[in-house]
Amino acid sequence: MDWKSSITKVEPNHLITKGYRQQDLIGNIPFPHVVYLLIKGELPSKSHGKMMDAILTSCIDHGVTSPSPMAARVVASGGVPLPSAVAAGILSIGDAHGGAIEKGARFMQNGVKRMTDEGCSIEEMAKKLVAESREKHQRILGFGHRVHSEDPRTVRLFALADELKIAGNHIHLAKAIEKELDESLGKKLPINVDGAIAAVISDMNLDWRLGKAFFLLGRVAGLTAQVYEEQTRFKPMRKMFSVNCEYDGPEERDVKKMSDE
C-alpha cells in the first residue's frame, strides 16, 4: 500500500521536485528544462534544454484538420469547460497521430544498436532496414507527409541538432534511410516532424516510450488556443462540417415484436 515517488516531496511551505525547491525553479529554470527534469530526474545541459524547448514548439499546431485540434473543437462545441475539450484532443494522440515518434525512435535505436552488433556502416544499415521493410510490406514510420515534401520543422530541428552538437548516429541513420527510400523506391518520403523528433530524442538518449509524451506536451499549447478560439469566436453546436454521409445499412424495415415479451 505504501507508495514511493521520486517526483515531489510536499511539506508545509516547502516543495521539493526532483531535489530542487520549486521556488528555485520558478522563473530561474526555463519551463522546457523543468519538463526535462521531471522526465529524466536531472536538469539538462544548456544544449539539451534548448533542444527540448525546440521539440515542444515543433509540436504546437498544424492547423485545424488534424485529429487533435478537430476533436478538441468538436468537443468544445458541445458547450463544455476548456479542460474537457483539451483532454479530448489529447485522447486522439495515438499510434496513428503522434505515434510515429515512439515507434520511430524504437526503430532507429534498434537500427543503431544493430550497426554495432552487425558491424556495418550507417549507409549499409539504412539499405538493410529499407530492404527488410519492403520485404515485410511495412512502412517505416516517420517518413512521408500528406502536405509537405520538405517539412520545415524537420529542417529546423536537424539544423539545431547540428548547431547544438546533439546530432549523432540516430539522426544520421534517419537521413540515410530517407536517401535510401528515395533511391530504392524512387519516391520521395521525406522525414516528417514525428520522424525528426524520433531521431533527435534518440540522440539525446531519451526513452522512446515517452514518444507520445513529447508530442502531447507541445501540442497541448495549440489545443488550448484552438479551444479558446472555438469558445470565443463561434457559437456552441455550430454546423462545423458538411459531411456527405451515405447510409448503407439495412433497408428500412418493420420491427417484429418477439412473441412472448
Interaction with a copy of itself in 80-139: which residues (CB under 8 A)?
Answer: 80-88, 90-99
Q: By CB under 8 A, is residue 183 in contact with a copy of itself? A: no
CB-based contact 32:52 (threshold 8 Å): yes
d(CA 200, CA 162): 10
User: In the numeric block, which cell numbers belong to residue 75?
Assistant: 468537443
CB-based contact 54:64 (threshold 8 Å): no
Residues pairing with 11 in the sheet: 14
Q: Which one, 136 or 239, has the nearer CB to a copy of itself?
A: 239
Q: By CB under 8 A, is residue 156 in contact with a copy of itself? A: yes
Q: Which of 8, 116, 121, 205 binds a copy of itself (CB under 8 A)?
A: 8
Q: By CB under 8 A, is residue 19 in contact with a copy of itself? A: yes
Closest CA to 90 of 256, 191, 247, 218: 218
Which residues have CB under 8 Å from 257's CB, separation 6+? Answer: none
d(CA 88, CA 76): 9
Q: By CB under 8 A, is residue 187 in contact with a copy of itself? A: no
3 state DSSP class of 30: coil
# binding residues, a copy of itself (CB under 8 A): 135
**CB 136, min distance to a copy of itself, A:** 19
Q: Which of 117, 135, 137, 249 binds a copy of itself (CB under 8 A)?
A: 249
Q: Which one, 28 or 205, has the nearer CB to a copy of itself?
A: 28
> Which span (60-68, 121-129, 168-176, 197-205) binds a copy of itself, by CB under 8 A?
60-68
